[in-house]
Amino acid sequence: MSATIPAESVAGNADYRPLATIEGVRLDLRYASPDNFAGRDLYSPLDCGFLHRDAAGALAASADWLARERPGWALLVLDAMRPQRVQEQLWAVLAGTELERYLAPPERGSIHSFGMAVDVTLCDASGRELDMGTPFDCLDERSHPAYEERLLAAGAIGRGHVENRDLLRAAMRQGGWHGISTEWWHFDCGDRMAVRATYARIL
Ligand SMILES: [Zn+2]
């Protein structure tokens, strides 16, 4: 069993870094508002705008690349560290529905709960969120990077949406992040098995 840390201790622990201090990164944590599929604020009063410093460094590298490619643009973080207790609340909302495949079951846990995953999109120089073809947490196939060619051919998403996603993926790749096949907004820092074995779980 790997180590754990209470979410309340993250802000005072040097292993974790507040994302608001990273240039080119903006925050709009959707689980800290009612604007999410649970329909309520799951984070307050806890500040979840943190990642493990390894992941925060990777995000800074991605933001640097983006600033060179698109001056004035920013990475907009939609979710970062997600305490295990919140993962359990999200699971309670989706368990037993066909949507549960989008969520790691609590016993396995999410890479977000190690501060090593991020949900992110892009903002242009005017601060406008780019259109990725679906909103964040749109839990259907239009969000699946694995189906983009088919979705494009069927007209379910447009060429511009894929170009925007490609730019996001290129920026994230520069920092060493890996996307997944089912959510255009989700990226892991490092290998999932290694993260679960090496990093502390945030409770
Ligand atoms: Zn995610």
The pLDDT tens digits for 27-44 are: 999 999 999 989 999 999
CATH number (domain holding residue 37): 3.30.1380.10
Q: Distance of CA 76 to CAs 12, 48, 88, Å?
A: 24, 14, 25
For residue 1, tell me if it sits in a domain. no
Which pLDDT value is given to residue 50?
98
Which of 88, 100, 163, 183 is catalytic? The answer is 183
Q: Say how far apart CA 99 and CA 94 lie, in whole Å.
A: 6
CB 202 within 8 A of CB 3: no
114 in any annotated domain: yes
With respect to residue 7, please indicate whether it lies within any of the assigned structural domains.
no
Domain count, the chain: 1
Ligand 1 midpoint to CA 150 (Å): 23
- pLDDT at position 8, please? 97
pLDDT value for 29:
98
Does 86 map to a domain? yes
153 CA from centroid of ligand 1 (Å): 27
Active site residue 107: no
The alpha carbon of 89 and the centre of ligand 1 are apart by a number of angstroms equal to 15
- All residue ranges of the chain with pLDDT < 70 are 1
89, 110 Cβ separation under 8 angstroms? no
Give 113-146 pLDDT, tens digit per residue. Answer: 999 999 999 999 999 999 999 999 999 999 999 9
CA R_g for the chain: 16
Q: How far is the CA of 122 from the centre of ligand 1 (A)?
A: 15
Place of tokens 């290129």: 170
DSSP helix/strand/coil, 76 = strand
